């Protein structure tokens, strides 16, 4: 009886500790969101989307930074995702058990968790130093390097989930592996792969460190890929650290915009995954 009571107490203690830990985490998150929203909403206005980043003391917006972020994120995904998707396809479909694949998988996992500032320095050495100047292209390239491991991993995982029988059936009809991959496996894993792409976009659109070393920043409107380009993360970094009230407000507004964008992307990714699961269910 005593022993049972003791076990009950232990159970209760463990449960409450878990609960406290969960609440602490959630509270931090809520505090961050609340701070962001309360400060960010104040700075929200149409000017954000119509005017350039201003010099201190005058009114302005974030148009050039929003544009730069969109362009570099898009370019980064365009460069990085084909590499990630194709490499993931190789790991899942062609070299599932080879030694090379294990090595690639390991390196990819390392890359996946590598601090992004290292990637920034790497691209700085590789591109910026050689070109002699910062550029949007170098920024896009560093974001691409960040996008590769995310897309590679999700593509491989999603292709591995496709039932083996489907692959065999296609081969049994006389399809070569490339045809099976294009016509059967990719459609079967489509929502999963797209989810991976969305997660990669979410990951790279908020990165500051790699851009600091590559695209730097630009006070003015610029569409030249060969020149430094404004972007939200670096603008936020710079404006938030400044002593000027109007710059700080813009930084808060920018931070809110970036957070909401990533939130929307994550929700979209989750919805897609849910769709994937119902598709699977229907497939049974």
Partner 1 sequence: MIPSTKPPKHLKIRGPIPKAASDVVDTGPPKIEIRGLNFFYDAMQSLHNVNMTLADRSITAFIGPSGCGKSTLLRVLNRMYALYPKQRAEGEVRIGGVDILSPSVDVAELRYRVGMVFQKPTPFPMSVFDNVAFGLRLAGGVRGAELKVRVESALRDAAIWDEVKDKLSADGRSLSGGQQQRLCIARAVAVQPEVLLLDEPTAALDPISTLRVEETMQSLREKYCIVVVTHNLQQAARVSNVTGFMYLGELVEIGPSNQIFTSPKNRRTDDYITGRFG
Interface positions with partner 1 (CB under 8 A): 97, 163, 165-166, 168-176, 179, 183-184, 187-188, 190, 279, 282-284
* 142 HSE (CA, 13 A, CB side): 33
Q: Cβ atoms within 10 A of the Cβ of 13, count?
A: 10
The three-point CA angle 94-98-99 to 5° equals: 145
Q: Whose Cβ is closer to partner 1: residue 133's or residue 179's?
A: 179
Q: Whose Cβ is closer to partner 1: residue 167's or residue 203's?
A: 167
- The encoded tokens of residue 11 equal 């159970």
Residue 22 exposed, middle or buried by CB count within 10 Å (0-12, 13-18, 19+): exposed
Q: Whose Cβ is closer to partner 1: residue 55's or residue 187's?
A: 187
* Nearest distance from C-beta of residue 90 to partner 1, angstroms: 16
What's the gap between Cα 233 and its chain centre? 13
Widest CA span in the chain: 78
- The encoded tokens of residue 79 equal 């460069």
Helix (H, G, I), strand (E, B) or coil at 95: coil
Q: How far apart are the first and last CA of the chain?
A: 49
Q: Whose Cβ is closer to partner 1: residue 136's or residue 194's?
A: 194
Helices 63-89 and 136-161, packing angle to 10 deg: 40
């Amino acid at each position: 009886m005593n022993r049972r009571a003791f076990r009950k107490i232990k159970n209760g203690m463990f449960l409450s500790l878990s609960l406290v830990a969960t609440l602490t985490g959630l509270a931090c998150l809520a505090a961050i969101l609340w701070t962001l929203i309360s400060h960010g909403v104040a700075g929200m206005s149409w000017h954000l989307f119509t005017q350039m980043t201003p010099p201190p003391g005058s009114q302005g917006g974030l148009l050039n930074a929003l544009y730069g972020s969109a362009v570099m994120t898009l370019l980064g995904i365009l460069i990085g995702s084909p590499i990630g998707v194709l490499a993931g396809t190789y790991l899942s479909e062609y070299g599932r058990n080879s030694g090379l694949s294990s090595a690639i998988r390991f390196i990819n996992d390392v890359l996946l968790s590598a601090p992004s500032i290292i990637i920034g320095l790497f691209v700085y050495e590789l591109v910026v130093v050689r070109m002699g100047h910062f550029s949007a292209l170098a920024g896009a390239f560093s974001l691409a390097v960040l996008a590769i491991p995310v897309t590679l991993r999700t593509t491989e995982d999603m292709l591995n989930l496709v039932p083996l029988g489907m692959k065999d059936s296609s081969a049994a009809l006389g399809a070569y592996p490339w045809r099976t991959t294009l016509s059967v496996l990719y459609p079967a894993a489509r929502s999963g792969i797209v989810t991976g792409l969305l997660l990669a976009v979410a990951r790279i659109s908020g990165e500051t460190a790699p851009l600091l070393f590559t695209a730097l920043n630009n006070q003015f409107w610029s569409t030249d890929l060969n020149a430094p380009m404004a972007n939200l993360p670096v603008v936020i970094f710079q404006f938030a650290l400044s002593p000027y009230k109007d710059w700080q407000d813009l930084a808060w507004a920018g931070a809110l915009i970036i957070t909401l964008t990533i939130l929307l992307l994550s929700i979209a990714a989750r919805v897609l995954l849910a769709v994937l699961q119902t598709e699977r269910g229907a497939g049974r």
